[in-house]
Amino acid sequence: MRRHPAVLRFRTGHNTRAQLESALGESVADRDEAAPRASGTLAAHYAPRTALVLLDYAALAVELEAQANVAVLALSEPPLTARVTSWITAPATPQAYGHDLYANLRKLDASGAKRILVAAPPENEHWEAVNDRLARAAAGSLPLDDEP
């Protein structure tokens, strides 16, 4: 019986799922419950101690108006009215953003801010790896004391 390729943990970087499937000449199944354990398959991975929240740019603008003592990671420069503890303007390419991601999160985590706000990058195949890492970092970060 021929086994079809399955991805235990797809961490794109320079390669997309479409490129992998093109190279193999067939589609690649996602991990299922029968798949062996593989590194990086937990919902949370490299989570900062500071609560991390992923937001779209509209929600980020609202949060910046309502809060101070936050640290921000975004693809844009901070607005002049931003009252933030720290702001990191991330690289504009998915490869460079991913390369710097954990170092940037460590800097924001060490800033003393009450919360880390991350403006979500674009939702497309080029940003798949970055979005996956951010979702895992947010899933594992500690909730705020004032949140249920």
Q: DSSP string covering 86-118, please?
A: EEEE--SSHHHHHHHHHHHHHHHHTTT-SEEEE
Domain count, the chain: 2
Query: Tokens standing for 127?
Result: 């940003």
Position with higher pLDDT, 47 vs 102: 102
Is 5 in the same domain as 31? yes
Q: Which has the closest alpha carbon to 48: 65, 77, 70, 78?
A: 70
Which residues make Cβ contacts (< 8 Å) with residue 124, sequence separation at least 6? Answer: none
pTM confidence score: 0.74
Domain membership of residue 21 as a residue range? 1-41
Residue type, 108: L
Is 58 in the same domain as 130? yes
Is 71 in the same domain as 19? no
Position with higher pLDDT, 142 vs 106: 106
Is 37 in the same domain as 56? no
**Lowest mean pLDDT, pick from 7-16, 94-103, 117-126:** 7-16
Is 66 in the same domain as 20? no
Q: Are 97 and 13 in contact (CB under 8 A)?
A: no
Position with higher pLDDT, 55 vs 139: 55
pLDDT of residue 147: 46
Query: Tokens standing for 115?
Result: 């919360």
Query: Tokens standing for 114?
Result: 């009450």
Which residues make Cβ contacts (< 8 Å) with residue 33, sequence separation at least 6? Answer: none
Q: Which has the closest alpha carbon to 108: 70, 62, 55?
A: 70
Position with higher pLDDT, 21 vs 119: 119
**Lowest mean pLDDT, pick from 49-58, 61-70, 96-105, 138-147:** 138-147
Residue-wise pLDDT tens digits, 53-71: 999 999 999 999 998 899 9
Q: DSSP character for 70?
A: E
